[in-house]
């Protein structure tokens, strides 16, 4: 699995929950066009736009 680093905080648009902070390393789970499904080290999966990540 590919490891990515977030360039911005990952925040839910519905309840403003912070999934992960800027600079957090996450693992790529799935890719759907411009949106990536990633998983944090805590096991939480969440979507992030491809422009908000940088590859290692």
**3-class secondary structure, 20:** strand
pLDDT score of 47 more than 70: yes
Give me the mean pLDDT over the 7-29 stretch: 93
Identify the CATH number of the domain defined by range 3-55: 2.30.30.40
**3-class secondary structure, 21:** coil
Q: Note the pLDDT of residue 23.
A: 93
Residue boundaries of the structural domains of the chain: 3-55
On whether the CB atoms of residues 37 and 3 are closer than 8 A, the answer is: no
Give me the mean pLDDT over the 21-41 stretch: 95
Rounded CA separation 1/17 (Å): 25
Q: Give the closest residue to 1 by CA, choosing from 39, 21, 23, 29.
A: 29
Q: What are phi and psi of 49, to 5 degrees?
A: -70, 145
| pTM, entire model | 0.85
């Amino acid at each position: 699995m590919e490891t990515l680093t977030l360039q911005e905080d990952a925040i839910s648009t519905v309840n403003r929950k912070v999934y992960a902070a800027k600079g957090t390393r996450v693992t790529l789970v799935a890719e759907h066009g411009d949106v990536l499904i990633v998983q944090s080290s805590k096991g939480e999966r969440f979507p992030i736009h491809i422009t908000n990540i940088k590859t290692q």
